[in-house]
Amino acid sequence: MIYFFDLSSGVEVRRIQAPFAPAHLRFDPAERKLAICVDSRRDLLVLDAASGTVIRSFDAGPTGCAWSYDGSLLASTCFDSQVRLWDIGSGLPRATLKGHTAPAMTVVGSRTSDLLASSGWDGKTRFWDTVLEEQLFSLPGALIWFSPPSPDDRRLGFHVADQHAGIWELAPACECKRWRAGGIGCASFDASGHVLATGGPQGIAFWDVERRRLLEEVPTGECWAMGWAADGKSLFSAAARGVERWTIEFDPVAHRLLLGTAESLWRERVTLAGLSPSGYAVVGGQGTESNLVVLDLRHPDKPRIVAALAQEGVVSMSQDGKRFVMGRWHGRDVTVWNVATGQPEKVLPAAEPARGEFSPDGQYLMVGSSKDYQVFKTDSWERVFRLPRESVEGGTGAIQFSPDNSLVAVQLEQLGHIHLLATGSWQELAAIEEGSPLCFSADGTKLAVYSAEAKLLMIWDLRQVRRQLAAIRLDWDAPPLPPWKEARVLAAPQ
């Protein structure tokens, strides 16, 4: 029998029948489920806390258990030295965390993050990231039995043998969120910064940025470009099955995404594409007869054909939809095309291969190649800046401007090393050692980065980065970034 008491009065409020006498009992964060286990049994049970009904049963051989902060996972320590993660929704094992060298005996979960701590007879406490499913670090000492983190999630008690006890201070690392994702070539944040849409060889994926969780996948075939509409309620995508518009509804409180039926704007297969935030697209592929097609996505029934050869390469649209720039994987230079005349406006020198990106205000064109980055003024095509690239064999690099035009992120080396530059002065403000820049959030406070080598998607919170730099008087000379907006529901039009 399990008895429940009101702590303020000490009065028993209910009791439920348990299949066995548990040594460990853990409420889930919502206090609707109860996990129970005992060392002498192999089963780890999840009960309905009101009725005692068994909801899940796991063959865990547990010595202890703990919930994840959102209640989606249950962790158990085991005599075989491993820590196992169990998916409550599916009832299946999620992961096995290996690192302890002796039986693992106790485990606790963070109240606010995906951090997990476990300790055992090897005298170590190991800290785990349950999303990455890997050990972050370890410390000498063991957790105190039945002692979770402090209510503010900033302190955790420990002991060393029987002589010493202490408190660890937990400092949350908010500057960068990381999770595993395969094959990402383009990305775009929704207006609130809570949802990140990514495109890759298989199609489109939608991610909950705060929780680092996959919300939805759509098999569109290879996705070449994407961008949110000005109203923030729909997403444009250019992929193997054409150009489409998706209506989106996201509830950031319930962390739920509702994806509407795709509206087809261009039905031909796309193998080359660029989108502008203002709603213009330039596409090439099957059905374009080797030409490029410029679409006003508000009026996609009136395409404009441009006699530019749709060869393998990279194409990018200006914000106002009046120009696009095209570079090739197997060719030098980039060509700027004028949409109104349908003719090339300027050929700019660049090493093979090359690509270009317009600044949001249209004043600059940055050209990346295997040798360098160059910046040209679009009113005179005068080169005003050059940044050499070192240790690069092939590859155009990556260029992403912030929506407010204040920053540009460029990939300096083949596998990473991103430089953040101030637009206009081109002064280096900061560097990120890993990955390639994908996109900034609408308010410019987040930068999405992808490491193809590690298959890691990373979200850098530039507000947090600048706060840390300011604390040691190393922040860059720029106005403060806007404060974080409270969660709100993005409703799709009815």
**pLDDT, tens digit only, all 494 positions of the chain:** 999 999 999 999 999 999 999 999 999 999 999 999 998 899 999 999 999 999 999 999 999 999 999 999 999 999 999 999 999 999 999 999 999 999 999 999 999 999 999 999 999 999 999 999 999 999 999 998 878 899 999 999 999 987 889 999 988 778 999 999 989 999 999 988 999 999 999 999 999 999 999 999 999 999 999 998 877 788 999 999 999 999 999 988 888 999 999 999 988 888 888 888 778 888 887 555 567 888 888 888 888 877 666 556 788 999 888 999 998 887 888 999 998 888 899 999 998 889 999 999 999 999 999 899 999 999 999 999 999 987 566 578 899 999 999 999 999 876 678 999 999 999 999 999 889 999 999 999 999 999 998 999 999 999 988 888 888 888 888 777 776 554 443 333 33
Going across the sheet that includes 93-97, the strands are 62-67, 73-78, 83-87, 93-97
3-state secondary structure of 465: helix
Is residue 295 a contact partner of residue 281, using CB atoms and an 8 Å limit?
yes
Report the candidate in 296, 287, 370, 294 with the shortest Cα–Cα distance to residue 325.
294
Is residue 422 a contact partner of residue 407, using CB atoms and an 8 Å limit?
yes
> 24-27 and 12-16: which strand pairing?
unpaired
Q: Which pTM does this prediction carry?
A: 0.89
3-state secondary structure of 469: helix
Instruction: Tell me the two tokens of residue 195.
Output: 């949802």
Q: Taking the domain 176-471, which CATH number applies?
A: 2.130.10.10
Q: Report the alpha-carbon distance of residue 120 to residue 109 in Å, rounded.
A: 15
Q: Report the alpha-carbon distance of residue 259 to residue 256 in Å, rounded.
A: 10
Q: How far is CA 42 from CA 45, 54, 117, 122, 249, in A?
A: 10, 15, 22, 22, 43
The reply to whether 16-169 and 176-471 are identical in fold is yes
* Omega prior to 252 cis, within 30 of 0: no
Hey, where are the domains in the chain? 16-169, 176-471
Q: What fold, for 16-169?
A: Methylamine Dehydrogenase; Chain H (2.130.10)
Instruction: Tell me the two tokens of residue 16.
Output: 């439920």
